Amino acid sequence: MAKLRILKYGDDTLRKVCRPVETVTPRILTLLDDMLETMRAADGVGLAAPQVGVLRRVVVVEVEAGHPIELINPKIIAYAGEQREQEGCLSLPNEWGTTVRPAHVTVRALDRNGKEFEITGSDLLARALCHEIDHLDGKLFIDRLAK
């Protein structure tokens, strides 16, 4: 595994829409492993592939230590409620703002074996899933700041 460089706000890559993963290849598996190592080293709870310069729909989230969630081609399929909470981003170090996100989300994605699964999360997990999936569409948390 390798620690990757996290792109910072202002890099055009962060505003691009990512392409879906057609096949889970060894390269994608290495990307997942490297992203997890990078996220943990940066004390984050989530990381999306464009944050490390890869325009693919790949995300890692770990809101509970030792229980990483790997998502390939994630898509929010249901959401409910609302939460207004402080949010930050590894690509915008030391920047925080209150965002409006769903309180509960269900996401459908592929796992590292190419098998489809669904995950439902509330509170921090819901926020992290939404935040990272936004990255795949070139959106940053500062685009979702509460008025």
Residues with a catalytic annotation lie at: 132
Of 59, 61, 60, 48, the C-alpha closest to 13 is 48
Q: How many CB atoms lie within 10 A of CB 46?
A: 26
* 3-class DSSP state of 8: coil
47/39 Cα distance (integer angstroms): 6
Hunting for tokens 């030391």 — which residue is that? 94
Sorted by sequence, the CB contacts under 8 Å of residue 115 that are 6+ apart come out as: none
| DSSP H helical ranges for the chain | 26-41, 123-136
**Quick one: tokens of 18?**
């990512």
